[in-house]
Structure 1
Amino acid sequence: MSASSNFGGQCPRPFLQESLFPSDGGFVTGRFCMPISQLQPNLTCCLPCPLTDWVYSDGFESRTEIANWVNVVALLFSAYLLLSFVILPVKYTHRHYLSVCLTLGVVFSELAFIIPLASKPEQCFNEITPNDMKSNGSCAISGAFLLFGGFAMVVWIFLRALALHLQICWEVAMGTRSFYGMLAFGWGIPVIGLALTLSLTGVSFRFGDVCHINHKDALQDFWGPLLAFAALALVLQFITIGYCVQVYIKSLFDDKQTTNSSSQPPTYNGSMRTVTARQTYRRVKRVVELQWRGASIVLVLIAEVVFFAVVFVSMDNATQVNAGLLTKAESWLTCLAITGGDKNKCLPRAKGLVKTEGVVLAVLIVLGLSGFWCLMFFGRWSMAQGWAEFFRTKLFRKSEFVSADARRLSNDPRTYEMLGGAGPQLNIKTPDRALTSPRTREFDAVDTKQDYYNSTRSYITPVTSFSQPRPPTQHKDWDPRATHAGPMTTKEFDLKISQLPD
């Protein structure tokens, strides 16, 4: 950690003289430098890169890799969820495009932490300058994935909260137009936000081996819109929850008889247009039973995003070099100069400058838990049954065709093969005793047919048989006088009609 004396110049150890380093590469704004006019006019000294090595204890960088490995496991869970959505039938997964798109947004943010594990990027461009997206490819990719994934995750959280609010509170069914509109909005806004953020603000190594957004205009370009969508989603979620509570309370005091249980004829007050509080409660209860997973993950992920945003913004503001920060860090910087760069002796004086190590590690790990939450709320036990059925039917399915030779060798007379053409015919015997009904045996003597035993038997077509066309039968007109029946009066006819069942 000690700097080379060639670059120390006139600065006390461990500081390095800024004028000895070029300013044509890396994130120059990210240097931690301060003017020291007491030693020499226009002398600016900088702490060596990375800054986290001086404000946190030894091994902090290696401990930040815990968040990277947490994201590796979370990515496996997300991949399992997405494969289940794609391959398994809907009856096992109950997939919805809102769930699929939200999971994809989480996957992008997970990839931002996994890429550095493979690339092992160099955080510093030179001894005092951190790398940024222009000087390091891994920084550009990881930062872009993190910004896009975070933006997409928050936007799809907002769309889930909006869809649930419209469905419960306003009874609006999401159709085809809503589907395409939400797809365009849910992916278009993150793309626009990423383009503006990278072009106006950029990303660089701030802490850890994942690139984060820079300080310049970050609040207007990224954190402001992100927190705005999160706040809207939270407000919609609370309004929906409040509406459900209101409907539940009104149903407790609703004594009206609903149309489903009413035995009286429907009137205007009791028609289908009249919806009582108890009916509304049943409808809302049904929707909540189906959508409680989506409502829960909205609240959990919003809490994660707000936690990450608050911690990172406060850290970003605390590390910006200005007169106030130099005044606040004077005792710590003096300690480093006096001890010759022994940071362990000066760490107690740096605690008030940055967030504690536990908070930084917590925010990185919590952000990686998004994949676990997706599996917990979107995953179902029926998915395991679906995969078992998939492997059983697709991979271990037996052949549906049986060899004709095997059938010919069978001694079971009940077996048969549906094959045409040449080949030895089977001598299949029928049961010795044919089952005939007594009614059939009554008609026995006209048509002769040959049975399987080459014996003949006669068959008489019944008179009431309609298996072949017959000429129309001549019916005589009915004479009521032949039955000695008297004529029926109109009153008697009306009485008979009134006695018929409805």
Structure 2
Amino acid sequence: MSSSRCPTPFLEETLFTNGGFVDGRLCQELGNGLSCCLPCPMTDWAYPDRFVTLGVAAEWVAVVGTICCAFLLVSWAVLPVDKTYRHYLSICLTTAVLLMNLGFVVPLAAKPDQCFDRITPNYQKTSSVCGTSGALLILGGWSGVMWVFLRAMSLHLQICWQVVVGRNFMWFSQALGWGIPVLGVILALTFSGVSFRFGATCHINHKNSLADLWIPLLIFAGLTIIIQFATFGYCIKVYLASLADNSASTEGSNLPSYTNSIRTMTPKQAYRRVRRVISLQWRGIAIVLIIVSDVIFFSVVFVFQDNTVQSVKTDQNKAQDWIVCIAFSGGNKNACLDKAGSLVVNIATVGAVLLLLAMNGIWLVLLLGRWTMITGWRDLLSPASRARREFVSVDARLDDLKKDTRSYEMLSRDTGKTMDEAVTPSVVTPISPAHMRSPFGIPLGNQESMTDDDGRRTPDYFGNTARYHAPTRSFSSPRPPTQTVTWDARETYAPRQQQQGQSPNDDYVNPLGMNRI
């Protein structure tokens, strides 16, 4: 390298092979066939040293976001739906953000070499880490845009058009939400490729990038914004119409109304329906706005940066002052950072883009996660939480009731003992539940009791007469029977009408034998 005719720190292009991503070199013709190139990577010369620290910090934030996405996905897969309220739109959106975060996590773990040689960056064919991180970033970005678009469309159909999205919309969403991103990745890698251009993560190259990535991506992002604001506009219109609605039929009525057609709904009924939907979907609305804003911000910033670097290659006069400054300072980049400011995006904007993209997983766990997930994992993993007082009924085989096949006793599922063994020594049967006490020994009431031949007191379950309470909106009343029906109280176990002068113990029926056939 000592034979280089270029001033320090520039290197002569003819001293290197054509390996790596040759189009990623930043070189300038000085005449007489001499082409001098800036050492790789270019960002080390255009940005201060804290740019590397900022990139590493964004990658660690992406690690936290990846953990959050993984927590949501595992919770949705393992915990019951009443703890997570999972939905395929949320699951697919979280998967998309997880893929995008992995585009930052893979370089952090692999620590790839950004340069093929001293002036040439690596690209997808010379670095597997570059190809993997670039593909994950494009796939995650495409998927994120598509699933927020589908979520916004679903909400718009429900609120504005009163359409119940069902199985057909789900299959349509799966085909569109994953089919277009896969097609977009194939087109981007085939016609443009990815290389190390902007930190440790590979990004799409300039060639054909507008046609195969940025323009289609921004079209769907723009449609998402339009649909979302159209939904907001409809909500505002419904709210204003409800303020002017003075119809008595919609005020103070708790009766159910038919809402099969939006034309039959009064403004206040429509407002209540819209408010109910928004109260259930506000988390989804917020995450749609956050992710689509991040993607648009990143797209605009990167396209601007890409076009600026490309303009420097085509018009060498734009970077003349910066190149001369570096040459005369002997490679001291800090002395020339002010002249490089017009050629690159400022470091504050770059940091904001990287951090916002890496934080999408954190936003997801804050907006789509629920506290019941924590309690669900606690109940699943903690044996003490699972030890509840739940009871099941089994057939009791008691010595004194062997022939009674309908008797049963309450067992504690946790201890394997009957509740009578754990709490009270008496047998719990359907007709004599432990002297009118609950399994925990709490008295159930002050019922009247009868005395049997052995002197034991048995609760009288049939001596109380229930009162008839007419319903509030009932227009009928109980009528006496038209004919007198007689029956044998011994066959039905109903209490006999006591004759005058008759003892209560006459013809007594043993309650313990009433369930025998």
SS for the counterpart of 1:183 is: helix
Take 1:59 and 1:92, find their aligned partners in 2: how far apart are those partners?
44
| 1:16-95 → structure 2 map (5 Å cutoff) | 16-23=11-18, 25-37=19-31, 41-95=32-86
Single out whichever of 12-21 and 226-235 deviates more from structure 2: 12-21
Displacement after TM superposition at 1:218 (Å): 0.6
Displacement after TM superposition at 1:60 (Å): 2.4
SS for the counterpart of 1:293 is: helix
Residue 137 of structure 1 is matched in structure 2 by: 128
Take 1:141 and 1:324, find their aligned partners in 2: how far apart are those partners?
30
Q: 1:257-287: CA deviations, max 9, x gaps?
A: 33686799x9xxxx99732111111111111
Displacement after TM superposition at 1:322 (Å): 4.7
Take 2:354 and 2:193, find their aligned partners in 1: how far apart are those partners?
20
* 2:425 maps to which of 413, 418, 426: 413
TM (normalized to structure 2)?
0.75
Take 2:454 and 2:302, find their aligned partners in 1: how far apart are those partners?
87
Residue 433 of structure 1 is matched in structure 2 by: 456
* 2:379 maps to which of 364, 376, 389: 389
| Gap regions ≥5 residues in structure 1 | 418-429, 441-461, 470-502
Take 2:120 and 2:290, find their aligned partners in 1: how far apart are those partners?
37
* 2:206 maps to which of 215, 225, 228: 215
Take 1:438 and 1:243, find their aligned partners in 2: how far apart are those partners?
61
Take 2:30 and 2:360, find their aligned partners in 1: how far apart are those partners?
46
Residue 347 of structure 2 is matched in structure 1 by: 357
Take 2:294 and 2:420, find their aligned partners in 1: how far apart are those partners?
69
Displacement after TM superposition at 1:152 (Å): 0.1
* 1:380 maps to which of 370, 394, 398: 370
Residue 11 of structure 1 is matched in structure 2 by: 6
Change (3 A) 1:318 1:433: same
Take 1:262 and 1:59, find their aligned partners in 2: how far apart are those partners?
64
Change (3 A) 1:170 1:407: closer
Q: 1:184-218: CA deviations, max 9, x gaps?
A: 11011100100111111110001211101111111
Residue 480 of structure 2 is matched in structure 1 by: none
Residue 280 of structure 1 is matched in structure 2 by: 270
Do 1:109 and 1:149's aligned partners in 2 also have CA atoms closer than 8 Å? Answer: yes
Do 2:312 and 2:319's aligned partners in 1 also have CA atoms closer than 8 Å? Answer: no
SS for the counterpart of 2:264 is: coil
| Larger relative contact order (Cα-Cα within 8 Å, sequence gap ≥ 6) | 1
Matched, 1:315 2:305: yes
Displacement after TM superposition at 1:416 (Å): 8.4
SS for the counterpart of 2:222 is: helix
Take 2:329 and 2:318, find their aligned partners in 1: how far apart are those partners?
19
Change (3 A) 1:466 1:172: same
Displacement after TM superposition at 1:401 (Å): 6.3
Change (3 A) 1:410 1:294: closer
Counterpart of 1:159, as a letter, is L
Take 2:116 and 2:49, find their aligned partners in 1: how far apart are those partners?
21
Residue 295 of structure 1 is matched in structure 2 by: 285
Matched, 1:348 2:338: yes
Residue 477 of structure 1 is matched in structure 2 by: none
* 2:318 maps to which of 328, 333, 336: 328
Residue 246 of structure 1 is matched in structure 2 by: 237
Matched, 1:165 2:160: no
TM (normalized to structure 1)?
0.77
Do 2:26 and 2:313's aligned partners in 1 also have CA atoms closer than 8 Å? Answer: no
* 1:225 maps to which of 216, 233, 236: 216
Change (3 A) 1:280 1:409: closer
Residue 339 of structure 1 is matched in structure 2 by: 329
SS for the counterpart of 1:329 is: helix
Percent of residue pairs bearing the same amino acid type: 46
* 1:464 maps to which of 480, 483, 487: 487
Change (3 A) 1:43 1:437: closer
Question: Number of paired residues?
Answer: 422
Asked which structure has the greater CA Rg, the reply is 1
